[in-house]
């Protein structure tokens, strides 16, 4: 007993050391286990990145064969949805009713939605808040994707509001022909909805008389429409004869429009669209041919041809020269696209088809 009492302090110290060693061993084991788990987690992350997954940091990781790319996931979704959106900001009296008749025929078999944008008081511009709301609405309205939107509205700059551009298309017409058609349309209506009462119904003043009397509705400034609709919502776009607006309109036509057709070449325009974007336009040429190949299904009931004197007055104006310049520019661009996209066979315009292939593919 006396010996045990003497050894008791040493036994206590021994037990404490044993516990301390046991604690260190346990901590080391836990640390080793955590390192193995982290290593496994990291390896799993690398495997997922090779499979093109979007990480929690809103980045898109590509495999070793591509360089690292980081994009916002919301932007990625917008880009995918924008490919399912076509926006046709129609110019009045350019054959747009004929074109839309074809689109409404196609949408059922091709399974996409068609929606008309109606702006209050037939205005052609939208307030910034309305622009943003419209853009946000059509890009997130998934129940209506794919969607084809059309309406008389100026070009809307989607990237300006932080969204990806849709597929823009347009049709334009020789400017004086368009104005004359619109002038008589307001007085006599058309054969499409003949029961409607138009704004100038009953006024039998000819376009020649209107020009001679220098009335507002037939002044050269009234030709200023196609340029501002391509230019956009900036106030400078709507100043008749503005050189900056003309340059802006040309820039938008080249950079932001998929195809801009010409009223006088409606059949070719249908074929080009079918060749480039069959998702929305497959069968357009056939439907258009069945309609009788009319450049206008909506024809003004009465329309007098302007006299040579009237034509000379209009063509001598700077506004006409600029609108004509823009028309010829669009026509040249369309001819170039047409040569690369379609060819004529037995009276029908057909897609040229793919002219490329892949080779030397490794591994």
- Which residues are catalytically annotated? 150, 152
Phi and psi, residue 94, nearest 5°: -125, 15
Other CB atoms closer than 10 Å to residue 186's CB: what's the count? 14
Give the Cα separation of 308 and 134 in Å (integer): 45
All residues at 6 or more sequence positions from 298 whose CB lies less than 8 Å from its CB, including other chains:
97, 98, 190, 191, 192
Nearest C-alpha neighbor of 327 from the set 229, 191, 235, 214: 229
107 close to 150: Cβ distance less than 8 angstroms? no
Query: What is residue 185's DSSP assignment?
Result: H
Give the Cα separation of 81 and 79 in Å (integer): 5
Residue 264 Cα distances to 173, 222, 315, angstroms? 7, 21, 20
Give the Cα separation of 38 and 316 in Å (integer): 78
């Amino acid at each position: 007993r006396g010996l045990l009492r003497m050894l008791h302090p040493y036994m206590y110290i021994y037990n404490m050391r044993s516990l301390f060693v046991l604690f260190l061993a346990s901590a080391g084991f836990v640390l080793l286990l955590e390192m193995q788990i982290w290593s496994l987690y990291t390896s799993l992350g690398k495997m997922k990145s090779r499979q093109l997954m979007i990480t929690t940091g809103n980045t898109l990781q590509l495999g070793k064969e591509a360089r690292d790319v980081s994009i916002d996931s919301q932007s990625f979704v917008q880009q995918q949805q924008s490919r399912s959106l076509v926006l046709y900001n129609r110019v009045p009296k350019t054959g747009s009713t004929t074109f839309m008749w074809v689109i409404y025929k196609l949408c059922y078999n091709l399974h996409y939605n068609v929606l008309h944008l109606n702006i209050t008081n037939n205005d052609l511009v939208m307030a910034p808040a309305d622009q943003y709301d419209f853009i946000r609405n059509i890009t997130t309205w998934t129940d209506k994707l794919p969607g084809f939107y059309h309406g008389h509205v100026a070009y809307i700059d989607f990237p300006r509001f932080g969204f990806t551009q849709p597929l823009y298309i347009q049709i334009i017409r020789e400017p004086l022909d368009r104005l004359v058609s619109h002038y008589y349309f307001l007085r006599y209506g058309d054969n499409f909805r003949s029961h409607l009462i138009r704004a100038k119904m009953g006024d039998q003043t000819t376009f020649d008389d209107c020009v001679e009397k220098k009335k507002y509705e037939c002044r050269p400034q009234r030709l200023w429409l196609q340029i501002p609709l391509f230019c956009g919502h900036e106030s400078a776009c709507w100043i008749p004869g503005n050189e900056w607006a003309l340059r802006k309109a040309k820039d938008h036509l080249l950079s932001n429009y998929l195809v801009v057709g010409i009223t006088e070449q409606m059949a070719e325009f249908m074929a080009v669209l079918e060749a480039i974007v069959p998702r929305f336009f497959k069968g357009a040429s056939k439907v258009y041919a069945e309609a009788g190949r009319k450049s206008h299904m909506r024809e003004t009931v009465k329309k007098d041809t302007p006299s040579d004197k009237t034509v000379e007055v209009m063509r001598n104006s700077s506004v006409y020269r600029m609108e004509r310049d823009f028309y010829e520019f669009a026509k040249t661009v369309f001819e170039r696209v047409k040569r690369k996209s379609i060819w004529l066979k037995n009276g029908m315009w057909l897609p040229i088809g793919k002219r490329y292939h892949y080779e030397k593919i490794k591994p």
